Amino acid sequence: MTARAEAIQEPYQALRQNAEFRMSFADHAHRHLFNDGAAMPPASYARYKELADEVELAIIAESARWGDQARSTPYTLADWQAKRDYILNTYMPQRPAIVLNQLRTAALYPAISAPVFKVNGVQRHGGHVLPTDDLSMTLPEDTSYRDVELVGERVAVRVHVPMDNSLGLSWTARTFVPGASWSDGSTTTGVGYERDSGYETLIGTDVGDAMYNRSTSVFLRMGFGLDGGEDFDRLVLQMKYDDGFIAYLNGVRVCTSGNVTNETPGTATAGNHEAGAAFEEFDITAFKGALAAGTNILAIHGINITTTSSDMLILPKLVGKVVDAGGNSQPIWYTLDGSDPRLLGGARNPMALEYPGASIRLAGSSRVRARTLYNGNWSALNDAVFAVGPVAESLRISEIMYHPRSTGSPIDADKEYIELVNIGAAAINLNLVRFTNGVQFTFADRLLNPGEHVLVVRDMAAFEAEYGPGLNVAGQYIGALDNSGERITLEDAAGTIIHSFRYRDDWYGITDGGGFSLTVRDLFATDPNVLNEKSGWRPSAEAGGSPGWDDTGVVPDPGAVVINEVLAHSHAGAAD
């Protein structure tokens, strides 16, 4: 955010000039500053409170030793507590909005708002939903805007190339009268020059002869009228610029590009910045009070990287945004496959869908990613996972082949598998269900009917060599099951733990390399810890396990068959 340019900040300042870095920065900022993110008051409150509680008693001794160093009446624990309460109850709740505005002013967060997700009309950022729930996408507070163009893309401009700072800031004021050294206003914005190729079609006022090898600065003044009755909810400066700029509204400084390192006219400098195909937006709503009835002046100090740079461009627009009660004028684009609606470079992802305005329903668990697109500018990304249906309630691990029988073949170890089954009464979609411990695997969009089994395997070729083709295999997992036992964790799309248990190799000898699998005894057991115990498992009925089918009853459970009579010796004279 800072415009400082010490050596340690040079990499950051260089990155700030890249549009992809700024968009990525905005996406991260949105993740933390919205939707109960890490920088929101509840999370910040909890972190600060934990630290404050830890040091509170130590403050008593600290104040006794150092409390009178700054004032004659010593600081006490009560003073510290008052400051702590101010930070927790006043400072922190207001910080997210302040930081967001600072980021917008620094062009690190777009002026366009990111979409908000709602389920059945209530704001929800992911989580569990029903297949019948309605998902909608709106702008914050359902606000949409009508743009009023105050300074257009090609408007008359008065231009001056300064050699020094003799004008100070007087040239930015409404009352300033340009002298003979200024252009006469017959040319238009798009002020700069192009000695090679790239900006030539954008140049409306060529200042190459006046600037090249002479000055890095150019002053622009553009007038626009207001009748005093306008009620702008927001004020946005849009810029195409190479390399830097400082903007003033009726003499009030409203915006500075983050790469400006020297502001002195004539010798001013800015880090390299190339103008993009789309205008960059800077939210200057905080300065809308500088507007006045009558003639207003947008003044811009354009700054080049060096006097011998091959090009230079300052092309501004100033837009006032009026709340439009007539509907959403900013299209929302979204995806359900985990991809970004915005491609690198700013183009729209061809897989992205335009939100129709009416709610939609999700057929299965989905990662919903959405951005607002307006006048070629994208909002930050809103990204949430919605888990659809009773997946966690219905999906169970039923069998584990963790240590296949060794036959001497090099692919023996690759014959591992994990079997799952739907114990529910309805089909479930496994999309985004994942193993997060033991092995790594994420299910794709896949329906699993009631009673149906599905397998994930270590190696498909080895598995089919042992069990044949045609079984319901979802895919290969990453990693391998530990022959000595380990923890396996299975989560649904929203991160709810379905299973988290540790199996052991000493439960049954025949499952530890003997060719038999571990099979769950009771798929409907409600105790979440039962699979951590030997009693929750049994060996499979047959060597090789039962991938894809239930072998319950093939071999009676221990105790199911009871010897109730033994004839050890018949009576004398009778045959045995």
Domain contains 566: no
Least confident of 327-331, 440-444, 469-473: 327-331
Among residues 294, 323, 352, the one where a domain terminates is 323
Q: Please report, in angstroms and rounded to a whole number, the separation of the first and last CA atoms in the chain.
A: 99
Question: How far apart are alpha carbons 516 and 394 in whole angstroms?
Answer: 26
| Residues 547/419, Cβ–Cβ less than 8 Å | yes
pLDDT of residue 574: 63
Task: Dump pLDDT digits (tens) for 369-389.
Answer: 999 998 889 999 999 999 999
pLDDT of residue 489: 97
- Which tokens sit at 482? 């530990």
Domain contains 289: yes
Task: Dump pLDDT digits (tens) for 187-223.
Answer: 999 999 999 999 999 999 999 999 999 999 999 999 9
How many domains, in total, are found in the chain? 4
User: For residue 468, with 0-12 CB atoms within 10 Å meaning exposed, 13-18 middle and 19 or more buried, which class applies?
Assistant: exposed
Instruction: Give mean pLDDT, residues 106-131.
Output: 92
Question: How far apart are alpha carbons 198 and 240 in whole angstroms?
Answer: 13
Question: How far apart are alpha carbons 230 and 237 in whole angstroms?
Answer: 17
pLDDT of 91 strictly over 80: yes
pLDDT of residue 322: 85
pLDDT of 432 strictly over 60: yes
Question: How far apart are alpha carbons 385 and 126 in whole angstroms?
Answer: 5
Among residues 109, 130, 159, the one where a domain terminates is 109
pLDDT of residue 74: 86
pLDDT of residue 141: 60
pLDDT of 575 strictly over 70: no
- Which tokens sit at 167? 């004008």
pLDDT of residue 500: 96
Same domain membership, residue 248 and residue 192: yes
Instruction: Give mean pLDDT, residues 61-70.
Output: 84
pLDDT of 292 strictly over 70: yes
Instruction: Provide DSSP, 295-357.
Output: EEEEEEEEE-S-TT-SEEEEEEEEEEEEE-TT---S-EEEESBS--SB-TTSPBPTT-EE--S
Question: How far apart are alpha carbons 234 and 231 in whole angstroms?
Answer: 9
Cross-strand bridge partners of residue 245: 302
Least confident of 42-51, 537-546, 551-560: 551-560
Task: Dump pLDDT digits (tens) for 445-483.
Answer: 999 999 999 999 999 999 999 999 999 999 999 999 999
Instruction: Give mean pLDDT, residues 283-311.
Output: 94
Three-class DSSP category at 163: coil
| Banded model confidence at residue 4, pLDDT cuts 50, 70, 90 | low
Same domain membership, residue 231 and residue 265: yes
Same domain membership, residue 406 and residue 353: no
For residue 185, give its domain range: 147-323
Domain contains 565: no
Domain contains 525: yes
Q: How far is CA 420 from CA 171, 417, 545, 550, in A?
A: 74, 10, 13, 11
Residue 422 is part of a domain; what is its CATH number? 2.60.40
Question: How far apart are alpha carbons 398 and 417 in whole angstroms?
Answer: 11
Instruction: Give mean pLDDT, residues 57-69.
Output: 87
- Which tokens sit at 378? 């994208």
Same domain membership, residue 168 and residue 315: yes
The pLDDT > 90 percentage for the chain reads: 72
pLDDT of residue 327: 54
Among residues 299, 323, 347, the one where a domain terminates is 323
C-alpha neighbours within 13 Å on the C-beta side of residue 206: 9
Range 18-24 contact pairs with CB under 8 angstroms and sequence separation of 24 or more: 19/276, 19/280, 19/346, 20/344, 20/345, 22/107, 22/108, 23/342, 23/378, 23/380
- Which tokens sit at 262? 């020297």
Same domain membership, residue 396 and residue 383: no
pLDDT of 76 strictly over 80: yes
Instruction: Give mean pLDDT, residues 334-357.
Output: 95
Same domain membership, residue 415 and residue 533: yes
Label the pairing between strands 395-401 and 145-151.
unpaired
Instruction: Provide DSSP, 245-268.
Output: EEEEETTEEEEE-TTEEE-STTT-
pLDDT of 329 strictly over 70: no
Same domain membership, residue 491 and residue 470: yes
| Banded model confidence at residue 5, pLDDT cuts 50, 70, 90 | low
Question: How far apart are alpha carbons 362 and 381 in whole angstroms?
Answer: 19
Instruction: Give mean pLDDT, residues 228-241.
Output: 88
CA 190, 192, 198, 200 dihedral sign is positive
| Residues 103/109, Cβ–Cβ less than 8 Å | yes
C-alpha neighbours within 13 Å on the C-beta side of residue 341: 27
Q: Mean of the per-residue pLDDT values for the chain?
A: 91
pLDDT of residue 554: 81
pLDDT of 142 strictly over 60: no
Q: Which amino acid is at 463?
A: F
pLDDT of 73 strictly over 90: no
Same domain membership, residue 181 and residue 84: no
pLDDT of 254 strictly over 90: yes
pLDDT of residue 3: 62
Instruction: Give mean pLDDT, residues 502-508.
Output: 96
Q: Which amino acid is at 82?
A: A
Closest CA to 186 of 167, 166, 206: 206
Q: How many residues belong to the chain?
A: 576
Q: How far is CA 386 from CA 127, 354, 492, 568, in A?
A: 5, 19, 10, 67
Domain contains 550: no
pLDDT of residue 102: 86
Question: How far apart are alpha carbons 128 and 334 in whole angstroms?
Answer: 19
Same domain membership, residue 425 and residue 406: yes
Same domain membership, residue 282 and residue 332: no
- Which tokens sit at 573? 């004279």
Same domain membership, residue 302 and residue 421: no
Same domain membership, residue 374 and residue 317: no
Domain contains 168: yes
pLDDT of residue 258: 83
Instruction: Give mean pLDDT, residues 57-75.
Output: 86
Domain contains 522: yes
pLDDT of residue 544: 94
pLDDT of residue 555: 76
Domain contains 315: yes
| Residues 182/168, Cβ–Cβ less than 8 Å | no
Phi, psi of 485 (to 5 degrees): 105, 150
pLDDT of 2 strictly over 70: no
Instruction: Give mean pLDDT, residues 89-96.
Output: 88
Task: Dump pLDDT digits (tens) for 270-282.
Answer: 988 889 888 888 8
